[in-house]
Structure formats: structure tokens, C-alpha cells
Amino acid sequence: MKTPQQQPEQKPINEENLNALVGGVLQDLGGAFSVPLVQIGESLGLYQTLNENGPLSSAGLAEKTGLNERYLREWLSAQAASKYVTYEPETETFSMTPEQAFVFANQGSPFYLAPAFGAAAAFQHNMPQVKEAFRTGEGVAWGDQTQCLACAVARFFRPGYDNHLVSAWLPAIDGMVEKLEQGGEVADIGCGHGLSTLIMAQAFPNTKVHGFDFHEKSIEEARKHAKEHQVSNLDFHLHEAKALPGKYDLITMFDCLHDMGDPVGALKHIRAALKPGGAVMIVEPMAGDSLQDNLNPIGRMFYSASTMVCVPTSLAQEKGAALGAQAGEKRLRKLIMEEAGFGVFRRASETPFNLILEARP
């Protein structure tokens, strides 16, 4: 006869701590429940319409958009409860403060975060495969992850590239802007849909810019973007970083080093592909050097993304280093200098979301 399993002794609950935890979880659940609503608002242009025409009632927004008032009324109520829009009870109208518009309506803002909700939705679609990987320890290849992931990730990173790449990050690499203005050769490793590649090609028409990625569908999308913008100094190729052809003045790696199975092998090949005086610019998620340093909203976001996307992607490749999206500058310095053999490493720039690193042979 089976004996009843002994239950662990219940420790006394601190009511203040419990209330604080429950309050935080309720905030999280409200954010999670908001994911599809923000996606709807962004895709239908509701934030832009409200920002440009508000204050508006739900009926007023319906008139401006041609959408159903009853759905809009509920959507606006949810947005007001989330403090993503502002409600005026005296007039029963909704509007957006400059700060709310900067985050949800202004697509040119460096803090345009609406696309991040699309990435969150893509992570949810990845859940069955990643859950199984917890059991097997195997990876989930980038091409086998949810179909909307590559597009969602590209849109999530785009505001940072638009606002910082040409104006701040490239000027932080000593002498690089002058070289690219005169005419150089750039390789953009792990280019994805080619947004960063396109920005550099448009900014430096005398420089030839090449995008490389190991994901065929991303390269197809990148080529479509290049064709739409009719940029002649730009091309895209299906190549892994360890098979990079040619020699370059600048090699860029935007949020991809930590996704690689063999980042050291890739960096060694990249170092050999630099022309004399050339440099590598590596953009990685902002992170401190310890778990304790990263227990904050930015670290929370990136650890979650890393669990659902970055670590599975790396483990699906050769060696499966699985650096993770919060490797931190100290670990990256060791990887780049001691393991890959670069002689120069420095933090060239930063944003609240990014570390911008420069490496030279």
C-alpha cells in the first residue's frame, strides 16, 4: 500500500510581500493580455489617428477610421486602463500625451515599442517547440521557428537602427565614416531582412554594402526591400559567417553574435576577412556582467527573448555555444580577444537597449 506523499511544511506568508507580488503579477498579466490589442492598434493605425486627431470619443474614432464603434470603445478602454492612451471622464474622450505618442504612434522614435508586442506574440507561437527542447536539450533552428518571427524581430530592431546607426554608432568607430564616404566595402553579417544593410547603403552611396545571412527566406525578403528602394550599391547573399567571402573595411554584426552556434569560429573567420585598417562593429543587447546586474526591466525582456529564441537558435547549430542575449561586455571581451584573437576591443557607444562594440585585429 502506498503511503501518502508528505507535503512540504507551509512557511508563514508575509502579507505585504504577497500583496506586492500579486500586484506585480497582475501588471504582467495586463501587459500579456494587451499583446494582441497593441498589435491591432498598430496595424490599423489607431494610435496615429488618435494622436493626430484627438481628443476623440469612440464614435469619433470610428468616424475617422471607418471601423466599428463598439470594438473601438472596448479597445480604447483597455488602452486607457494600460495608460497607453489618456481618458478624460468629463468629455468621455481619449487622447495621447506626447510621451504616449513617442512610444506608440511615432514610428520614427527611438522608443517606438509597439513592434515589440509583435515579437512577444511570435515568442508565444514558438512555445510548443521550445517546451519540447527543454526535455531534449536540442535546439530549434531559426528556419523552424514560427514564420512571423523573422519579420517581428526585424521590426523590433528597426527604430534603433533608424535613429542611431548612421548618426551615432558608425561615427563612434574611429575613421569609419570618412572611409565609407570615400568608398569602401561593408559586410553585414546576420543581416536578416536587411534593414541595417539598406540603411548603410543609402547613407554611403560610394560604398558597396553586402548583406549575409544563413536563413534563405530572410535573404529573399532583404532582396525585395532592396529592389523596392532601388539601391544600386547593395546586394544580399546566403552565407554563414564562417563562410564569408571577400575582404572588407567594415564588418557589422547586429544582434546576431549571441545567436551563433560557433561565435569564436565565426569571429576568427571575420578577423581574417578585414582589410588593413578595417574594423568590426558588434551590436549586442545591453547587459551587465552578472545575473544580479541584469535583474531589471531590460534584462527581464532580453532573458525572456533569449529563452524563447536565442538559446534554441544557437543550440541548433554546430557547437551550440548558447551565449544568450545577456552575455555582458566582460564575457564578450574574453570571447573576442582571448578566444577569437582580436587585439583591440572597446565599447564604442551604447543605448538603453544596446551595447555597440568595436573590435580590430
Q: What cell was used for 101? A: 505618442
Q: What cell was used for 137? A: 536539450
pLDDT of the residue at 5 = 65
pLDDT of the residue at 50 = 98
pLDDT of the residue at 151 = 83
Is the N-terminal amide bond of 55 cis, ω within 30° of 0?
Answer: yes
Q: What is the largest CA-CA distance in the chain?
A: 84
Q: What cell was used for 351? A: 543605448
Distance of CA 45 to the CA centre of its chain: 22
Flag residues of the chain having pLDDT under 50.
none
pLDDT of the residue at 8 = 73
Distance separating alpha carbons of residues 233 and 331, to the nearest angstrom: 35
Q: Is 88 helix (H, G, I), strand (E, B) or coil?
A: strand
Q: Is 231 helix (H, G, I), strand (E, B) or coil?
A: coil
Cβ atoms within 10 Å, residue 151 = 18
Distance separating alpha carbons of residues 300 and 285, to the nearest angstrom: 12
Listed in sequence order, the residues at least 6 apart from 260 whose beta carbon sits closer than 8 Å to its beta carbon are 190, 241, 266, 314, 317, 321, 323
pLDDT of the residue at 325 = 96
Distance of CA 47 to the CA centre of its chain: 22
Residue 69, amino acid:
E
In 3D space, the residue among 226, 70, 242, 218 whose CA is nearest the CA of residue 145 turns out to be 218
Distance separating alpha carbons of residues 113 and 31, to the nearest angstrom: 13
pLDDT of the residue at 174 = 93
**pTM assigned to the model:** 0.90
Distance separating alpha carbons of residues 212 and 229, to the nearest angstrom: 18
pLDDT of the residue at 6 = 67
pLDDT of the residue at 237 = 96
pLDDT of the residue at 148 = 74
**Domains (range + CATH), the chain:** 15-106 (1.10.10.10), 115-360 (3.40.50.150)
